[in-house]
Amino acid sequence: MNQTIEVNLSDVLTRLETKIDRLQSDVTEIKIDVEKLKTQNEQMNKRIDLIEKRIDGLDSRLNTLTIGFLSIVGILVTGLLTAVAKLISLPNF
């Protein structure tokens, strides 16, 4: 019940070489894809840095506006309280 399989060694080597060539081309494609991804990653990082700078600029502007607004409100409230205090304490003038 022993079966003997005869295979030509050159055919086996040819198939192996073909498979190795396919693997090598696949690896080359993967390397190219990885380089493309690295480039895209660098571009995205640059975009994110630009967006962060813009947000920081907007944040500082908002802080300036908030401080200015609160200062004006504080001055107005102080003025109104002073006027009310004068009206209460000196109603005849």
- pLDDT tens digit at each of 93 positions of the chain: 566 677 788 888 999 999 999 999 999 999 999 999 999 999 999 999 999 999 999 999 999 999 999 999 999 999 999 988 888 887 665
Written as one letter, the residue type at 33 is D
Q: With 0.85 as the threshold, say if the pTM is over it.
A: no
What is the DSSP-derived secondary structure letter of residue 91?
Answer: T
Residue 9: per-residue pLDDT: 86
Residue 41: per-residue pLDDT: 97
